[in-house]
Amino acid sequence: MTEAAPIDAISESERLDVAADEAIAACGGDMRSTIRALILANEFLEFELQTQVSRGFTRGVRHGRIKTYSG
């Protein structure tokens, strides 16, 4: 069994190729399933980000005004 190269020893392109190969393998080599899974994962992350931004923004809102901090 060969040892994996340290993460900083491979180029960004190589890292992306490895990640793509792993995603394809995880979907049994089916490219359509891989693309669908990646789209679904992306949509989930976008939803999570949108939810976090919304919660963070509304946390400071009280009675129609945004709290301001000086400092």
Domain that holds residue 23: 11-47
Q: Tell me the angle at which helices 12-26 and 31-59 cross, rounded to the nearest 10 degrees.
A: 110
Question: Taking a C-beta distance cutoff of 8 angstroms, is the pair 44, 54 a contact?
Answer: no
Question: Residue 67 falls within a domain, yes or no?
Answer: no
Q: Is residue 16 part of a domain?
A: yes
Based on C-alpha coordinates, what's the Rg of the chain? 21
Pick the more confident residue, 29 or 10.
29
- Note whether residue 41 is domain-resident: yes
What's the number of domains the chain is made of?
Answer: 1
pLDDT digits (tens, 9 = 90+) for 12-69: 999 999 999 999 999 999 999 999 999 999 999 999 988 887 766 666 655 555 555 5
Residue 6: the pLDDT is 64
CA 27 – CA 19 distance, rounded (Å):
13
pLDDT of 8: 66
